Structure 1
Amino acid sequence: MLNASIPVRHIEDNHNVPMYITNIDCVPAGKFHGKMVVSMRPIPYRQVPRAVQATSRFPQVHGAPIHIGDPGQIGIKDVNKPDFGDPSNIKDGEVPVFWACGVTPQSIAMTSKPELMITHSPGHMFICDPKDEDLAVL
């Protein structure tokens, strides 16, 4: 989004992105089941179409937003109290935009309780050789 000149609040404010457990069921796989976790970024209304365009090019990573607007519609009771990460201030003229989040496996693990699970820590992604642009479809 930074390359598309879309402001990214948690980077501007130097804190971890806010993440929320939603009411959206993930497709179960064996004993693994649970709710989708989303990250939220406040986006100026006029820049939402560009944010969707910029992120939808990367379906192998977070992809396009899964929800734009009222957090209550996806089961988030208080956008100022994230389940993971730090809250981001939503300013006048901005709308909360939600993306599928890589913390979903941690939430699933808390529900499914596997003996061992290796994953990332919120805000500290696994680093590998491919660049974001290598994963773009457009």
Structure 2
Amino acid sequence: MRDGSTGNGPEYCAIETAMEVLGGRWKLAILKQLLTGTHRFGALKRAMPRITQRMLTRQLRELEADGLVTRVVYREVPPRVEYSLTEAGRSLDAIAAQLDAWGKWYRATHAARTTETGEETGTAGAPETAEPAEAAKAADQAEPAGPSGRS
């Protein structure tokens, strides 16, 4: 961990440890991209066009410091840098899939909220009765993972 501040404390604070390591607007999105394989910086930037170069660099450095990402620099001209997940990073595969399913459920069910004029928006094909737990269960069943996050 970067500063070791979340390593101490009672067991019930484990969620705080996870939030410290994974918190931030972009870290889970970066991890999701790296779950598909090794990527260069430019490919990550293109996959997430709304992140700034500075923020991507910062988040990658933090993920590397926390042991979730490996950075390999190839000594060639022009320099080539590749990022990939460590075993600890890959262990987040099932969690990322569940969060992705929950995000899709949330977007679909909350898009159905009525506008100020009383018109419904974004309800085309969205399941109105689906629950986030059901969405997560469906994602979990779609890609069962072992203890390391991989099948």
Q: TM-score, normalised by structure 1?
A: 0.30
Give 1 or 2 for the bigger CA radius of gyration: 2
Higher strand share: 1
Higher helix share: 2
Q: TM-score, normalised by structure 2?
A: 0.28
Structure with more contact order per residue of length (Cα contacts < 8 Å, sep ≥ 6)? 1
